[in-house]
């Protein structure tokens, strides 16, 4: 059974695996959920060059097939997911086999917190983490898939990154994949895979901390990196407001302003030198102007098309590259 452990392995460090010379191959098929759209990409790995994108297909799910957020207790509809997955496999000419699944961040609870000192053993650590998360999620802990990992930190304290997903959600997706003859080798979240696409930018950052801002329409995630380590992680759902795009969403600007204030006051932030932006609404110019009003530094648009080559006859628009960036990040990170 696939777990969320790989999510933490992906988030823990920007490029730990390459430093160790170890890199587990990803399944060549990645299925990504963005809003109500379920997409499939199939790639051909390359030892010397970039992975080659061989097929892209997307289908829109009917309302209610998948939960809208982690607060939505309605389980996914495994039957309708199965039908859609079969359509994607057939339309893309993909044979059933191992596959990866990328879920939106707002279907999980990601928490980053620091314990004053390292617990004496794993059992004590497990109890402390579970006690904290029991108060942080809107359902019983026994109904959750929970995984955690310690991050590099200074002093005696230990910084923990915890991911919680409703078990009913992952179970239904696994049922759907198995019904199509597929096996889930990895379940992951959107934003961790964006980090795979901007590793070089984060590594080369010499003008202050770097922020990765993932604007996904119904929610956003903000990650702030310092010396290649995660020091801040926030993901929140957003109320839909009149107007087009993310720039018109006052809730987003309010949450970002609050997040950057916390970063400066509590984390010793001296300014984010670079913001790497993924925005599925594609109103980047307007959003960048609004971000500048709340003190964001240089803003760069995340590009995923540079991470892959296209097979002959495969079309890939700029908007598709933005929507499917997390799926491409899976390939880029585990190629």
CATH of domain 5-106+165-195+305-334: 3.30.420.40
Spatial contact of 186 and 173, defined as CB atoms under 8 Å apart:
no
Residue 143: DSSP 8-state: G
Distances (CA, A) of 93 to 15, 46, 88: 33, 20, 8
Homologous superfamily of 200-301? ATPase, nucleotide binding domain (3.30.420.40)
Please, what is the angle between helix 5-12 and helix 190-197, to 10°? Answer: 30
Strands 29-34 and 37-44: antiparallel
Spatial contact of 199 and 14, defined as CB atoms under 8 Å apart:
yes
Alpha helical stretches, state H, the chain: 5-12, 16-20, 78-92, 122-134, 167-179, 190-197, 199-204, 250-266, 284-293, 318-323, 325-334
The helix/strand/coil state of 234 is strand
| pLDDT in the model for residue 305 | 84
| pLDDT in the model for residue 16 | 36
Region(s) of the chain under CATH 3.30.420.40? 5-106+165-195+305-334, 200-301
Torsion, Cα of 70, 214, 325, 4 (10° steps): -40
pLDDT tens sequence for the chain (335 residues) = 555 656 555 554 444 333 333 344 556 899 999 989 999 999 998 877 888 999 999 999 999 999 999 999 988 999 999 999 999 999 999 999 999 999 999 999 999 999 988 898 999 999 999 999 999 999 999 999 999 988 877 778 888 999 999 999 999 999 999 999 999 988 999 999 998 898 877 777 666 889 999 999 889 999 999 888 899 999 998 876 655 567 767 888 899 999 999 999 999 988 888 899 999 886 888 888 888 887 777 889 998 888 889 999 998 888 889 999 999 999 887 65
In sign, the C-alpha dihedral spanning 130, 170, 322, 324 is positive
Q: Label residue 227 left, alpha or beta by phi (over 0 means left) and psi (-120 to 50 means alpha).
A: left
How far apart, in whole angstroms, are the C-alpha atoms of residue 29 and residue 44?
9
Burial 283-297 (b: 16+ CB within 10 A, else e): bbebbbebbeeeebb
Distances (CA, A) of 127 to 4, 49, 145, 163: 19, 45, 15, 15
Helix (H) or strand (E) holding 274: strand 272-279
- Could you tell me the pTM of the whole model? 0.88
At a CB cut-off of 8 Å and minimum separation 6, what does 182 contact? 29, 85, 89, 96, 97, 98, 99
How far apart, in whole angstroms, are the C-alpha atoms of residue 187 and residue 167?
12
């Amino acid at each position: 059974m696939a777990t969320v452990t790989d999510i933490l392995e992906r988030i823990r460090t920007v490029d730990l695996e390459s430093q160790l010379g170890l890199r587990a191959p990803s399944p060549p098929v990645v299925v990504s959920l963005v809003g109500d759209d379920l997409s499939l990409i199939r790639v051909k790995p390359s030892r010397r060059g970039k992975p080659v994108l061989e097929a892209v297909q997307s289908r829109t799910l009917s309302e209610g097939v998948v939960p809208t957020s982690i607060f939505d207790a309605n389980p996914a509809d495994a039957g309708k997911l199965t039908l859609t997955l079969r359509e994607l496999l057939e339309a893309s000419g993909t044979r059933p086999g191992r596959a990866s699944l990328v879920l939106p961040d707002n279907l999980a609870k990601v928490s980053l917190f620091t314990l004053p000192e390292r617990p004496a053993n794993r059992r004590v650590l497990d109890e402390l983490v579970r006690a904290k998360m029991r108060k942080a999620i809107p359902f019983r802990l026994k109904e959750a898939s929970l995984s955690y990992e310690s991050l590099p930190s200074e002093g005696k304290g230990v910084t923990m990154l915890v991911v919680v997903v409703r078990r009913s959600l992952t179970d239904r997706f696994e049922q759907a994949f198995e019904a199509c003859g597929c096996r889930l080798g990895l379940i992951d979240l959107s934003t961790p895979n964006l980090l795979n696409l901007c590793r070089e930018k984060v590594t080369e950052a010499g003008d202050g901390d770097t922020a990765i801002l993932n604007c996904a329409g119904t929610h956003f995630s903000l990650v702030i990196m310092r010396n290649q380590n995660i020091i801040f992680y926030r993901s929140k759902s957003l109320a839909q407001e009149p107007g087009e795009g993310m720039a018109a969403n006052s809730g987003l600007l309010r949450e970002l302003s609050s997040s950057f204030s916390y970063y400066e006051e509590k984390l010793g932030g001296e300014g984010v030198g670079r913001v790497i932006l993924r925005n599925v609404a594609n109103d980047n110019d307007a959003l960048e102007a609004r971000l500048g009003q709340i003190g964001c530094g240089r803003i760069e648009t995340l590009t995923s098309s540079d991470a892959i080559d296209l097979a002959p006859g495969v079309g890939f628009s700029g908007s598709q590259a933005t929507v499917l960036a997390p799926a491409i990040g899976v390939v880029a990170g585990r190629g």
